[in-house]
Amino acid sequence: MKKALLFALAIPLSHSTLAASLYTAEDDGPKWYQADMVVFRYRAADTEEAWPPVIQQVLPANVISLKDNMPEKVEPLSGNILEPSDPSSIPVPPDLAREPFVSLPRSDFLLNKELGNLKRSNRYEVISQVAWRMPVDEHIQEQPVKITATSKEGDQFLLSGTVTVSASRYLHVEADLWFNELATEALYSEISGQELNADFSEVAEKGSQRGPIIRLNPEDAPLRITRNFQLSEKRRIKHSDEIQYLDSPVIGVLFKLTPYTPPSILEISKESNGKTPELKVTALHSMPQLFDHQ
């Protein structure tokens, strides 16, 4: 089943040889792209492949987090709710059209069709969908983007890691993601017969199956990582109509990089409705069906 899925997702479109190369070095500054990513897990992961010992993940020092596209609301401090005491404290929404590394709203996602196929199948559970825009150039330092997601219902898990886009002759995407299964610490300690350090500071020893303790939120009960699995892969991107499929026995990733042209200040001023200008992309051929419906 998984091999058939891998074949369906990994092959480029039949017309991809007609597409232009996605990256060419230019003298007029870095090129911009929109990155779209969907992370999902297999509901019935391969049981014949043993999970490795629990390893504590360390993020790179230069990792960045995507900015929220909707700033948090600020409670008014003055008695008149129509007149905030400090107008400068009112959060300003980011410029989605021209500001890099902002988490885009769902209306701007470009992998919605593939997302729908995943959700309609009972073989997969979508963990995360995210999109952002950024400049990419071989002279710009690589910026690993932090990716995190937690379970909303059912089994407790934590997805964490980074995705990095870089450029040389071609564009490359490198994913370093960890899928962590979690258990409430009290329950895990009772089942395993192991004692819990009072300060919750214990970390996993090398080669040990006993994982570190974490808190998803400061007010939450402690959780222990009982198993984790790493997806680490680097892929070269040649054409703008390719959807990259990164595979592992536990989770899978769909990734697409699309050329994007940020509007100039003049173009934005001509927008009469105040909406974000439409994404400018190369012509795409119709995609084949990626998954069997269940």
pLDDT of residue 100 exceeding 80, the answer is: yes
Alpha-carbon distance 210 to 131, whole Å? 34
pLDDT tens sequence across 34-46: 999 999 999 886 5
Residue 50, pLDDT > 50, answer yes
Q: Report whether pLDDT(190) > 80.
A: no
The 10 Å Cβ neighbour count of residue 275 is 10
Return the closest-CA partner of residue 282 out of 107, 8, 33, 36: 33
Q: Residue 181 pLDDT > 80, yes or no?
A: yes
The DSSP call for residue 71 is: P
Q: Give percent of the chain above pLDDT 70.
A: 62
Report the predicted TM-score, pTM, of the whole model to 2 decimal places. 0.73
- Of the two residues 100 and 51, the one the predictor is more confident about is 100
Instruction: pLDDT band for 103, please (50, 70, 90 cuts).
Output: very high
Name which residue leads in pLDDT, 213 or 99: 99
Domains of the chain, by residue range, sit at 2-68+93-269
Using alpha carbons, list the distances in angstroms from residue 281 to 75, 134, 273: 40, 15, 21
Q: Which of 179, 130, 185 is nearest to 158 (CA)?
A: 179
Lowest pLDDT segment from 56-65, 114-123, 197-206: 197-206
Instruction: Give yes or no for residue 200 having a pLDDT over 90.
Output: no
